[in-house]
Chains A and B, each alone.
Chain A
Amino acid sequence: MDRLPRIAIAGNPNSGKTSIFNCLTGLSQTVGNYAGVTVELKEGRAEHGGSAFRVVDLPGTYSLAAFSRDELVARDYVVEERPDAVLDVVDATNLERNLYLTVQLMEMRAPLVIALNMADLAEEQGIRIDAARLGRLLGARVVPTVGSRGRGLDEALAACAELLAERERDTEKPSGPALVTYGHMVEGEVARLALLAGAEERLAARYAPRWVAVKLIEGDAAVARRVRELAPDSAAVLEAAAADSGRRIAAHFGADAATIIAERRYGFAAGAIRECVRFPAAARRSLTERIDAVACSRWAGPVILAAVVYAMFFAVFKIGEEWGWLFGRSPKGWADALFAWMASAAAPLAARWPLLGSLVVDGVIGGVGGVVSFVPLIFLLFLFVAVLEDSGYIARVAFMTDRPFRFFGLQGKSALAMIVSGGLGGGGCAVPGVLAARTLREEKDRLVTMLTVPFMNCGAKLPVFLMLVGAFFPGARARMLLLLWALSWLFALGAAWMLRRFVVRGEQTPFVMELPPYHRPTLRGALAHAWERTWTFLKKAGTILLAVNVLLWALMSFPRSAPEAPAASSGVDASSGATPGGARRSAELAASFAGRLGRLLEPISRLAGFGWRENISLIGGLAAKEVIVGTMGTAYSLGEADHENVESLSARLARDRGWNPLRALAMMIFVLVYSPCVATLAALKRETGSWRWPAFATLYTTALAFVLAVAVFQLGRLAGWGLS
């Protein structure tokens, strides 16, 4: 694959770049991180007329000014990796701003082919574009395409192939795109600087001198750094000359050089449009305008937003879990059944080799299955989010929620991540929440969002709450769950506020966001999107989760104790009414490494009202919060630990003299706040590129959880609650 000619796809966000990439490459995509940054570059293989190409999807950007991570990655790829062709996807209905990026690619002397995308929509709106003329003006082939339906893509590839062949024939003087000129005065400065840059052999071998000159005059820090590396002797001279040019330009035009250059680029785009595009005489009020007049209005806007979010959750949980519409079961039901069948299939194994059987059944199938069985729900959630994203509604959500979120140092786009993580009070998962934070392009806001989404009431915390509320607050179930939901938002937003103030400091990033026109999302596009994210999640489950579950299993199974090990040595309570087999398991657990750890921590955890059994299950909950109830079931000697025992564990705890409502409340608050599960931590690691933030997330949440639980427990005791 490495030897194939490379085509890089560049373009504005919302230009339909991704659907073109998906159409070109089909299922041959691979996702790779690029040079240590976490921006992903997707790659795939495309074929045309018997020859194959390697296609790389660059991040969607409006500019190549390199102020954001995405821009830097896209620009570096074009300048450093030198793809054989750059396919610039341009939204034909929004040419002016899209051509601004094209102009910058032209400046970089990139071998350019332009895909005039959404050509059908432009035609519908009465926008007539003379593609051939535009091509002559820009010095590049221009191909009309409809990415969502795959139209014009063969022609686009053919144009790329032609360009490649042309460049191979003419290696001496490759024909590039047309030159963008900045007017007499600026050109003089650019030419002088380009002469200096061109004299530096190593610099000129890598970059077009004219481009370096323009960038230095613009004051581009990244290019200045490269100049210092490649031409250390004359870098100072070059930079001084660039600064002088900048000053002269500013004095001449009464505005700084960056402004003048940006204006000239837009001027070039506007000029090209004047020559090649005819607009309809009277612009109709577009569909987008008509929708937004309602969907973003002061009163209806928030109501519609709430309705959309509620409908999404309703649909996900009804279709995914409750309605048995798929041959008598729900998709989640089938996933659960699959793992139950696997466990029963492994039973003969357990009979012959108890240890191996236990590893397979409890460690692998029970642990990984507990998480993987959520895949149907996660896929559906991703599907709805993809539809919201592709339709353009997500941008409106961010627009409407920005103000309230900003108070806490977050921004509008954080809302979606919070909701996906379970912000509606149960159901949801922080793993897709962390991934959903990707829509935040600003580094600090994104980081704070990712660090606070785990506070939301995810689907896995819910069984713990249901079990404890059922046992100790039977008369106030709804009120207690509402309280926990309110607390989750309070903690998340409060933590965001604190983090922004003390940890992720610095100025709040600006919020300048396009509200793209609404598009009807295609099922194919949404499915591809959802599947890609689900697959990422599955891979994680298959690797990290598997390893952690095996480790946890080992901690809870070793050392193998003799059956007569003391069962009631912790002295809290003598287990009453337990099955004999369950009692043995409980004793084994008490003697295991995990049990010892639990008892080791008991003196501290007593402050919050937790005994060694709770400690074990909370440690187990690090792997996945689903584990908590199961492990408590085991620890309270109920034999098989699975979800069927929620009721009986509930009853068992209600009877237990060591337990009371106060202890339950402290435990629920601890579970609500403490460390994100391993899957979330792995997602955090993936998204931030280091283990530093996942480690921080574990420590700060657990410390906070402990402080809160102790406070609740001790204050409650002082107030005399729950002692009856």
Chain B
Amino acid sequence: MGAVRPLCQLAEGQEAVIASLGGSGAIRQRLLDMGITRGAELRVERRAPLGDPIEIRVKGYYLALRRDEARDILVEERAAAPAGGPGPGPGPCHPEECDRERCQGRGRGRGWRHRFGFGRRGE
């Protein structure tokens, strides 16, 4: 079992288990409804041609989400498993391990997009 970090930092092909879900309101409920629940296994399938959004496989289907949303999902990395058989059951979750300050501070409110007023959320 690896370290806990935001989903947006995973590389293509990496597998992980969801440790906790941040965010609030409609976005959070939407992610929950789409199966982003603690203990669920996921795999980063690919990034879009411009690097964002990313596509993950979760609960047996494919989901596209932006890095902004992926930032709020904390996952516990797994060594990239060889393709094929399903891994062991959901691992224990460690919500207390999540250092929210560190995760949220990363990349938030900096890029050019933010200067133009987009991507502002939950403030």
Chain A positions within 8 Å of B, measured between CB atoms, are: 62-63, 65, 67-68, 94-97, 100, 254-255, 258-259, 262-263, 266, 281-283, 285, 288-289, 292-293, 296-299, 301-302, 395, 398-400, 402-404, 406-407, 409, 412, 497, 500-501, 507-508, 510-517
Contact at A402–B66, with CB atoms within 8 Å? yes
Residues of A within 8 A of B47 (CB): 298
Q: Give the residue of B20, B38, B51, B95 whose beta carbon is less than 8 angstroms from that of A403.
A: B51
- Name the interface residues of B24-42: CB closer than 8 Å to any CB of A: 26-35, 37-40
Contact at B29–A94, with CB atoms within 8 Å? no
Contact at B29–A258, with CB atoms within 8 Å? yes
Contact at A298–B49, with CB atoms within 8 Å? yes
Q: Is B65 an interface residue (CB 8 A)?
A: yes
Residues of A within 8 A of B29 (CB): 63, 65, 67, 258, 262
Residues of A within 8 A of B119 (CB): 406, 508
Residues of B within 8 A of A395 (CB): 64
Q: Is B120 an interface residue (CB 8 A)?
A: yes
Residues of A within 8 A of B53 (CB): 399, 402-403, 412, 511
Contact at B30–A100, with CB atoms within 8 Å? no
What's the A-B contact tally at a CB cutoff of 8 Å? Answer: 150
Contact at A255–B95, with CB atoms within 8 Å? yes
User: Given the complex of chains A and B, what is the CA–CA distance between A281 and B86 in angstroms?
Assistant: 9
Nearest B residue (CB) for A398: B64
Residues of B within 8 A of A516 (CB): 61-62
Chain B positions within 8 Å of A, measured between CB atoms, are: 20-21, 26-35, 37-40, 45-53, 55, 59-66, 68-69, 83-86, 95-96, 113, 116-122
Nearest A residue (CB) for B47: A298
User: Given the complex of chains A and B, what is the CA–CA distance between A289 and B56 in angstroms?
Assistant: 12
Contact at B118–A512, with CB atoms within 8 Å? no
Residues of A within 8 A of B40 (CB): 266
Q: Which of A95, A255, A289, A297 has the most CB atoms of chain B within a 10 A radius of its CB? A: A255
Q: Give the residue of A94, A299, A512 whose beta carbon is less than 8 angstroms from that of B30.
A: A512
Contact at A512–B31, with CB atoms within 8 Å? yes
Contact at A97–B60, with CB atoms within 8 Å? yes
Contact at A514–B30, with CB atoms within 8 Å? no
Contact at B30–A67, with CB atoms within 8 Å? yes
Shortest CB-to-CB span from B110 to chain A, Å, is 16
Residues of A within 8 A of B66 (CB): 402, 406, 510-512
Shortest CB-to-CB span from A504 to chain B, Å, is 13
User: Given the complex of chains A and B, what is the CA–CA distance between A511 and B67 in angstroms?
Assistant: 10
Q: Give the residue of B39, B60, B62, B63 whose beta carbon is less than 8 angstroms from that of A96.
A: B60
Q: Which of A292, A402, A512 has the most CB atoms of chain B within a 10 A radius of its CB? A: A512
Contact at A513–B118, with CB atoms within 8 Å? no
By Cβ-Cβ distance, the 4 closest A-B pairs, closest first, are A63-B33, A262-B32, A403-B50, A515-B62
Knowing A255-B20, A259-B21, A288-B62 are in contact, say whether A404-B30 is a contact too (CB < 8 A). no
Contact at A510–B68, with CB atoms within 8 Å? yes
User: Given the complex of chains A and B, what is the CA–CA distance between A508 and B27 in angstroms?
Assistant: 11
Residues of A within 8 A of B30 (CB): 63, 65, 67, 510, 512
Q: Which of B33, B65, B96, B118 has the most CB atoms of chain A within a 10 A radius of its CB? A: B33
Contact at A407–B113, with CB atoms within 8 Å? yes
Residues of B within 8 A of A409 (CB): 118
Residues of A within 8 A of B21 (CB): 259
Shortest CB-to-CB span from B73 to chain A, Å, is 11
Contact at B45–A399, with CB atoms within 8 Å? no
Contact at A511–B45, with CB atoms within 8 Å? no
Residues of A within 8 A of B60 (CB): 94-97
User: Given the complex of chains A and B, what is the CA–CA distance between A94 and B39 in angstroms?
Assistant: 18
User: Given the complex of chains A and B, what is the CA–CA distance between A63 and B33 in angstroms?
Assistant: 6
Contact at B84–A403, with CB atoms within 8 Å? no
A-B contact pairs, 30 of them (CB 8 A): A62-B33, A65-B33, A67-B29, A67-B30, A95-B60, A97-B35, A255-B95, A258-B28, A258-B29, A262-B33, A263-B39, A282-B84, A283-B84, A289-B45, A296-B46, A296-B55, A399-B55, A403-B49, A403-B51, A403-B52, A404-B50, A412-B53, A497-B116, A500-B118, A510-B26, A510-B27, A510-B69, A512-B64, A514-B64, A515-B62
Shortest CB-to-CB span from A517 to chain B, Å, is 8
Residues of B within 8 A of A96 (CB): 35, 59-60
Contact at A266–B63, with CB atoms within 8 Å? no
Shortest CB-to-CB span from B43 to chain A, Å, is 11
Nearest A residue (CB) for B30: A512
Residues of B within 8 A of A406 (CB): 66, 113, 118-119
Contact at B64–A266, with CB atoms within 8 Å? no
Knowing A255-B20, A288-B62, A507-B120 are in contact, say whether A402-B48 is a contact too (CB < 8 A). yes
Contact at A266–B37, with CB atoms within 8 Å? yes
User: Given the complex of chains A and B, what is the CA–CA distance between A97 and B60 in angstroms?
Assistant: 8
